[in-house]
Structures are given as C-alpha cells and as structure tokens.
Amino acid sequence: MFGYDLVNLPIAMLHNINVRDAMLISILDENQEWYDEKTLSEFAWCPHTPEVSRNLRHCLEAKFTQTNNKPDIKRAIFACKILKSMAIISRSIPKLSVQVYALLAYISWWFRLGEVKYYCDCALRIDPDCSMAKIVCGAFENGLEPAWIE
C-alpha cells in the first residue's frame, strides 16, 4: 500500500460501496476460501448486482458461523492501523471517513479489538444511515459475536 492509497481508498469507498466490502472480505477471507485476488478485485469494481450481493451475504454468513478456523488477529490489527491513518487523513472531509469508521467498527467487533461503539458512533454521526455501522452497532449491543470466539 502506498501513501496515496490512504486518500484514494476512502474516495473509492464513497463512490462505490463494493470497495469497502472488498476490503472487509480481504481481512475476513484471509485463506481465500471465497474470493481470490482476481475475483476480489472484480467484486470491488463491478456493479452491485443481486448476485454479487447474494455471494457477499453467503460469504459473511459462512464466516460468521465458522468455528474451526480462528482468524488472523495480527492481520486485523494491521488493517486497523491503516484504517485509523485513513480516518486521520480524511477527517477534514467527514463524508470520506464514514466507511472507514464503519470498517473499523466491523473489524473491531469481529476480532474483539475494543472501541466498537466509538467507531459506530463516529460513522453514524457523519451518516446516520450508514448500514454497516448500524448492523455492527446492533450486533455489538445485543451481544452477538462470530462463532469462532466461542
């Protein structure tokens, strides 16, 4: 990743929500069980079709219920460091940081890294309709966790 990516990725997420979702999948699907690099890149840039949405939902549901494979927490911590840098760089244009905060909330919730509510609140203060932040906030407040944690 290059320095300019810290600006370009929030801009890309603002214009194409698939970029955000591809970033999430790249962290959760570290062994490329669902998406390899080529299909993940295609996913990020193709239109949001019902089939693309369905495949994403199936991937996330499978990852949520997976108990046999603990995810790489070091990878998540590294991703959060990058996302925090993006949030700092884009904070002067709040709408650029909404999806960055939503990703931070999701990853923090998924990997139990803390500050979930803080990141949800940051995203929702900027965009009260941010679906990822709403979903994560609801899961967190209701004590829902990925199966690997148990």
Q: Is residue 69 assigned to a domain?
A: yes
pLDDT exceeds cutoff 80 at 91: yes
Within a domain: residue 148?
A: no
CB 24 within 8 A of CB 103: yes
Higher pLDDT, 34 or 147: 147
- Which pair of structure tokens corresponds to residue 125? 């203060």
Q: Tell me how many domains the chain contains.
A: 1
pLDDT digits (tens, 9 = 90+) for 18-40: 888 888 888 888 777 777 777 77
For residue 42, the model assigns a pLDDT of 75
Whether residue 53 is predicted with pLDDT greater than 80 in this model: the reply is no
List Cβ neighbours of 10 (8 Å cut-off, separation of 6 or more).
Answer: 86, 89, 90, 96, 97, 99, 100
Which span out of 12-26, 36-50, 118-132 was modeled with the highest average pLDDT?
Answer: 118-132
pLDDT number for residue 56: 78
Residue 149 lies in a domain: no
Q: Is residue 51 part of a domain?
A: yes
Residue 114 lies in a domain: yes
Question: Which range has highest mean pLDDT (17-21, 28-32, 63-67, 96-100)?
Answer: 96-100
Number of H helices and E strands in the chain, helices first, is 8, 0
Residue range(s) defining the domain that contains residue 89: 5-143
Whether residue 47 is predicted with pLDDT greater than 70 in this model: the reply is: no
Task: Say if 82 falls within a structural domain.
Answer: yes
